[in-house]
Amino acid sequence: MKKMIRRCPICNNEYGEVYKTIKMKLPQDVKLPDEYDVVTCENCGFAYADVDATQDTYNTYYACNNMYSADAALKEKIVDIIADERELFFENNISKNAKILDMGCGSGALLTKLKRKGFDKLFGIDPSQESIEVVQKHEINVQRGNVFDEIPRELVHSFDIVCFTAVLEHVYELNRCIEQLQGYLTKGGLIYLSVPSVEEFGKKYRPLAHYCNHEHINYFSSVSLDNLMRQHGFDVYLQQPKEYDGEDSKNEHEMDISCLYRYVGKEVKSEIKKDYIGRKSILNYLELEKENETKIYNKILDFIMRRQQKIIIWGTGAYTLQIIANIPQLSERILFFVDSNPLKIGKKIVGKEIVASSNIMKVGREYPIIICAIRGAKDIEKMLHEMNIENEYIVL
């Protein structure tokens, strides 16, 4: 049990149980803490990252590191599958006449699908200018902004539905966020939320970076999500835990909680129900992690020890950032990092530059490569072959 730096973002309690310290080496332009504890709240059981930051820190980070924008390389099959599921959810549950706001609409994945299905009172808000321009091309009303901005007067209490999908796991101040969202809703209006489920932890082994990283700082179960929403006068309208399998179902399994909450008013105060799911899932995960993580770290150490030259690391996601922090010997051996996301090129991690893959052909031909990506490893391997890169490599 410890006194937490970040009070429970749901019930504001100060004490919690610590399970694991997450360490990472962030790119030098990222001004977020590079270490935090994964905890559960002693009072309500919510699992979250006890990170020493503020909401403003994250707002600045997302404004400058928009990996979700139109150009970013987030074109995985599973993202598409999830968007299709959301579309179906709306078709089955929402009237075509509803006035809908997608807060954090990105480049309009959901809005364009809804438009095609005949929903026509659509509106989007997103912090990214590039994203907004993409949405505008589809003739959907959109404006630039963040959920924490002051609500434009003409939008106050004016929507039947506010969508907030795949965002809440990134939010530092959950209570303030829900208050803001409620400000856009009409009386009796609905919030559509979708978050990754903490129950996925430990279902099968994946590097911890997949669940707990610098961006994902809240680990919801349906119990915790209800606790959060009920405190703000919302009632469950419809809730569906949803499991997705991507193309390669073994490696692309995701579990989301998608639900609609209805605003019934703050007069009805509801009791907090303790969440036991977060704790159980984290403990299951740590059990699995013990053997798997050691295996991966030994594989890396063995690989670099047997070779007396510099190495290239392909992939600069959270997995890489955590591996570098946990294997100090690795940093000095890195020649450079490779990433396919153009937004990352030129940035530095542990003083080493992130470059495009073409640099391997130019200056990296004789160096071994470590492919380090949770989801994209197969695609990277394919690229190596397509580019006729014959360097020795391993896949983590």
In a 13 Å sphere around the CA of 198, the CA atoms on its Cβ side amount to 29
Binding of Zn ion by 251 (CB under 5 A):
no
Backbone φ and ψ of 194, nearest 5°? -145, 125
Residue 13 as a binder of Zn ion (CB under 5 A): the answer is: yes
Residues 322, 207: Cα–Cα separation, whole Å: 9
- Site for Zn ion contains 41 (CB under 5 A): yes
> Given the complex with Zn ion, which of 82 and 272 has the nearer CB atom?
272
Cβ atoms 22, 208 nearer than 8 A: yes
Rule CB under 5 A: choose which of 8, 135, 174, 223 binds Zn ion: 8
Comparing CB distances to Zn ion, the nearer of 72 and 195 is 195
User: C-beta of 389: minimal distance to Zn ion in Å?
Assistant: 50
Q: Name the minimum Å distance from CB 279 to Zn ion.
A: 12
CA–CA distance, 227 with 13 (Å, rounded to integer): 13
For the chain, the first-to-last Cα distance in angstroms comes to 34
Only one of the segments 42-50, 84-92, 141-149, 252-260 lies at the binding site for Zn ion (rule: CB under 5 A); that segment is 42-50
357 touches Zn ion by CB under 5 A: no
**Residues 44 to 83 in contact with Zn ion, rule: CB under 5 A:** 44, 46
Told to check if 11 binds Zn ion by CB under 5 A, we report yes
Structure tokens at 241: 């835990």
Q: By CB neighbour count within 10 A (0-12 exposed, 13-18 middle, 19+ buried), where does 297 fall?
A: middle
* Min separation Cβ 337 and Zn ion, Å: 38
DSSP-derived secondary structure for 122-148: EEEEES-HHHHHHHHHTT-EEEE--TT
> Minimal distance in Å, beta carbon 360 to Zn ion?
48
Give the number of other Cβ atoms within 10 Å of residue 80's Cβ.
Answer: 12
Which residues are bridge partners to 262 per DSSP?
A: 190, 235
Whichever of 11 and 94 has its CB closer to Zn ion, that residue is 11
CA 143 to chain centroid, in Å, comes to 23
Nearest distance from C-beta of residue 14 to Zn ion, angstroms:
9
Segment contacting Zn ion by CB under 5 A, of 2-10, 64-72, 280-288, 351-359: 2-10
Name residues contacting Zn ion, limited to 108-147 (CB under 5 A): none
Of the pair 46, 393, the CB lying nearest Zn ion is at 46
174 is a contact residue toward Zn ion (CB under 5 A): no
Nearer to Zn ion, 43 or 340 (CB): 43
Which residue shows structure tokens 């937004």? Answer: 343
CA-based Rg of the chain, rounded to a whole angstrom? 22
Least distance in angstroms from the C-beta of 17 to Zn ion: 11
Candidates 43, 59, 186, 240; binder of Zn ion (CB under 5 A) is 43
- Which residue ranges make up the site for Zn ion (CB under 5 A)? 8, 10-11, 13, 41, 43-44, 46
